[in-house]
Amino acid sequence: MAKEFYTEKDIEDLFRRGMTSLVVNDNVVLTELAYEKANRLGMQLVREKPDNPPGAPVRPYIAQPQPGAGTPAGAPAASTDGDLHARIREAVLARLGGQVDATLVDTIIARVLKQTGVQ
């Protein structure tokens, strides 16, 4: 089956015609600008399976535990990991608002907290 490619202009046209969601699967490809435009317009991108946004590097080694990873010596312990995650998320979304995907922000925060040994 042929792939369908959507650009920023295509997303604008779909939104103007009243489409508020788009199913994204292996046969539907969005450019980076199309992905960002859909997020800015509040268009829901329905995925058949979780994936990264266009342009996001695939780095499976980040999610895997590193040998010797733990809390660095002298590092302060967070009161609760969930509280720290929530405070960071709130600060990032307050600063960037609708410019970023909240799910992506949560994934990045979790990875950073895990890699630094806080979580």
Structure tokens at 51: 């994936």
Q: What is the pLDDT of residue 52?
A: 59
Same-domain pairing of 24 and 79:
no
Q: Please write the tens of the pLDDT for every residue from 31-76.
A: 999 999 999 999 998 887 665 566 665 555 555 555 544 444 444 4
3-state secondary structure of 96: helix
Q: What is the pLDDT of residue 83?
A: 85
Question: Which residue range(s) make up the domain with 37?
Answer: 1-53
Q: What is the pLDDT of residue 75?
A: 47
> How many domains is the chain partitioned into structurally?
2
Same-domain pairing of 91 and 40:
no
Same-domain pairing of 68 and 118:
yes
Mean local confidence (pLDDT), 75-89: 68
What is d(CA 14, CA 11) in angstroms, rounded to the nearest whole number? 5
